[in-house]
Amino acid sequence: MNKKNVKYLTTGEFAKLCKVNKQTLFYYDQIGLLSPIYKNEKGYRYYSLNQIELFYVIDLLKELGMSLKDIQLYTQNKSPESFLALMYQQKEEIGKKRQEIEMKEKLIETKIAIIEESLSVPFNQITLQHLPEATLYLSRNIEDTTDDEFVEVISEFIEELNEAQLDTGFPIGGITKRKHVLNGDYSKYTYLYIEQPQPKEGYPYFKAVKGDFLIGYHIGEDTTICSTYEEMFSEMKRLNLSLGDYVFEEYVYDTLVKNQKEQYVTKIMMQVVGN
């Protein structure tokens, strides 16, 4: 080894510069991914400074999800053209990951806002509020589905949201038609929905009509929700109002933030009109 012209690095020195352990370098050498530039007669391994850049690219490609096998294929067929193609491909992957992270960040921000707002809501009060128009993405009609089919619809709806990246962080709710609510069928949903503050093009949406809504909160299991509906109907009568076309239900507190079903909170929004 001629140390006069070239500065070689021991395995330990090279590993320290690359911030990995020596076993990683041994493994890379074993699979032919990154081998020492020189091995002496005693079996000692030495690397050159210009191999650091190759290690950094390998490490970058690993972080971006590229398999060691695919990285190895590149290292065995290196050329400026193939490197350029690889970098363009990885740039595109980074763009996709950035979009995914931004979407997840918005989702988290929405959940934070919802829970922070809920901490100041008096759940024991029924209020009359004017709500703006909301754009909703709907499931298929579930009005006459069986219990087994209902579970299938939920699974299908969640899959749609994930595939189309329509999960906005808002809770999944249920829409019940006026006729069912008046008949006491409070959980006979016609559609599942999720709010879309920034609707994507190319999808069918339902516009929740802006207007006056009587808003109440049910604390406890779904099986006892009729008591809250009865209280809301009493308040509706006191205010001389009639039920509108739809009632919207969505969880405020569910299994995500509460351990006991008795502590779940369901928001009920009853569209109302004056008599």
Sheet holding 206-208, edge to edge: 127-131, 211-219, 265-274, 241-253, 173-177, 191-195, 134-138, 206-208
Residues 186/192, Cβ–Cβ less than 8 Å: no
Kindly report, residue by residue over 161-171, the tens digit of the pLDDT.
999 999 999 99
Look at residue 208 and tell me if it is in a domain. yes
Considering 22, 57, 78, which residue would you say is the last residue of a domain?
78
Q: Could you tell me the residue range of the domain that residue 270 belongs to?
A: 121-274
All residues at 6 or more sequence positions from 81 whose CB lies less than 8 Å from its CB, including other chains: none
Look at residue 61 and tell me if it is in a domain. yes
Q: Quote the number of domains for the chain.
A: 2
Same domain, 28 and 148: no
Look at residue 99 and tell me if it is in a domain. no
Residue type, 21: N
- pLDDT at 69 > cutoff 60: yes
Residues 254/210, Cβ–Cβ less than 8 Å: no
Q: What torsion, rounded to 10 degrees, do the Cα atoms 237, 242, 243, 244 define?
A: -160
- pLDDT at 4 > cutoff 60: no
Write the CATH number for 146. Answer: 3.20.80.10
Considering 58, 78, 98, which residue would you say is the last residue of a domain?
78
Considering 44, 59, 78, which residue would you say is the last residue of a domain?
78
**What confidence score (pLDDT) does residue 150 get?**
87
3-state secondary structure (DSSP) of residue 176: strand
**What confidence score (pLDDT) does residue 210 get?**
86
Look at residue 23 and tell me if it is in a domain. yes
Same domain, 136 and 261: yes
**What confidence score (pLDDT) does residue 6 get?**
61
Write the CATH number for 15. Answer: 1.10.1660.10
3-state secondary structure (DSSP) of residue 207: strand
The confidence band for 241, taking pLDDT boundaries of 50, 70 and 90, is: very high
Same domain, 69 and 192: no
Kindly report, residue by residue over 151-204, the tens digit of the pLDDT.
899 999 999 999 999 999 999 999 999 999 999 999 899 999 999 999 999 999
Mean pLDDT of 231-238: 97
Percent of the chain with pLDDT over 90: 69
Long-range contacts of 98-106 (CB under 8 A, 24+ apart): 103/165, 106/168, 106/169
